[in-house]
Structure 1
Amino acid sequence: MQFYYGSQMPLRVLDEAEFWKEQEAEHTVVMRELVRNLEKEYVDALKRWEDVLETTHQHVRRFVESVIRSDNQMPPALYQQVLDLVTFCLQESVAFTQFCRQVKHESEAVRENPTAQVVIDHIIDESDYFIGIAQTILYGQN
């Protein structure tokens, strides 16, 4: 993400959050589809993650609409809510990557599937990218 958006930065970071929450939700499906013999506990957990991530995605979309409607006159309270939402998204992505690492290391089905291991590493890397963007935005506010 480029950091020269000025007053458009809240919208830009929300765009990133919207994109990556959608990606993370889709990644839960990728993992389930790729590892057909994945243990039930992980399948069920991935379905729960999909629901949670999709809910966050929809929440971010609502904030995008609010920011657009503010027409560059974003009230301080809305700006703070955007920062709070980005903080939540960051924490959620950290938890999701921890879960992905757990699946990679604890699932027998994944350990026996080198392709799944590479794909899970890629999924983690993509979420880590968003985490880095969110941290940069949040630390820049302090």
Structure 2
Amino acid sequence: MQFYYGSQMPLRVLDEAEFWKEQESEHTVVMRELVQDLESEYVDALKRWEDVLNTTHQHVKRFVESVIRSNNQISPALYNQVLELVTFCLQESVAFTQFCRQVKSESAAVQANPTAKVVIDHIIDESEYFIGIAQTILYEQQI
């Protein structure tokens, strides 16, 4: 996390969400490229995930611009929208990690590719890192 924001929570958490949504989108490509014989149902699902994650990434970028343009005069409504977006991003990442676990456990092509299993575990770990950050920040806002 980039701590140069200090107490500027909205930018801090949006920066994290922006980075990790982009990473998750790229991870869908990594999985498709790494497992050349991946079953079409998983290839199709990964393409849908890529689209969804790219859409979320773009949405987060728009919020970053809104917060930056507010010059630290963030309205309660915008602040609440940021928290809702972060909650959505967290839930999306949870669903993405569940999908990755499913691919790892159910895909015959992945089961036959030890490198793919290691890479998918790494992808899951990275998404779980974001989940932990988002949960911590959301919890801090409830105190």
Sort the TM-score into its range (normalised by shorter chain).
over 0.9
Q: Which runs of 4+ in 1 moved over 6 A?
A: none
One-letter identity of the residue aligned with 1:134: A
1:25 pairs with 2:25: yes
One-letter identity of the residue aligned with 2:54: E
Look up the SS of the partner of 1:74 in the other structure.
coil
One-letter identity of the residue aligned with 1:108: A
Q: CA deviation at 1:3?
A: 6.1
Correspondence list, 1:124-139, <5 A: 124-139=124-139
Q: Which position in structure 1 is the counterpart of 2:81? A: 81
Correspondence list, 1:27-42, <5 A: 27-42=27-42
Q: Which position in structure 2 is the counterpart of 1:62? A: 62
Contact 1:3/1:9 (8 A) holds in 2: no
The TM-score, its normalising length taken from structure 2, stands at 0.96
One-letter identity of the residue aligned with 1:36: Q
Q: Structure 1: 5+ residue runs without aligned partners?
A: none
Q: Which position in structure 1 is the counterpart of 2:46? A: 46
Correspondence list, 1:80-99, <5 A: 80-99=80-99
Contact 1:7/1:72 (8 A) holds in 2: no
Q: Structure 2: 5+ residue runs without aligned partners?
A: none
Once the two structures are superposed, what CA deviation does each residue of 1:60-115 show, in whole Å capped at 9, x if it has no partner? 00000000000000000000000000000000000000000000000000000000
1:11 & 1:141 partners in 2: Cα distance? 14
Contact 1:100/1:120 (8 A) holds in 2: yes
One-letter identity of the residue aligned with 2:135: Q
Q: Which position in structure 2 is the counterpart of 1:103? A: 103
Count of residue correspondences: 142
2:57 & 2:6 partners in 1: Cα distance? 24
One-letter identity of the residue aligned with 2:90: L
Contact 2:10/2:82 (8 A) holds in 1: yes
Contact 1:32/1:38 (8 A) holds in 2: yes
Contact 1:28/1:47 (8 A) holds in 2: yes
Q: Which position in structure 1 is the counterpart of 2:114? A: 114
Q: Which position in structure 1 is the counterpart of 2:10? A: 10
Contact 1:39/1:107 (8 A) holds in 2: yes
One-letter identity of the residue aligned with 1:113: N
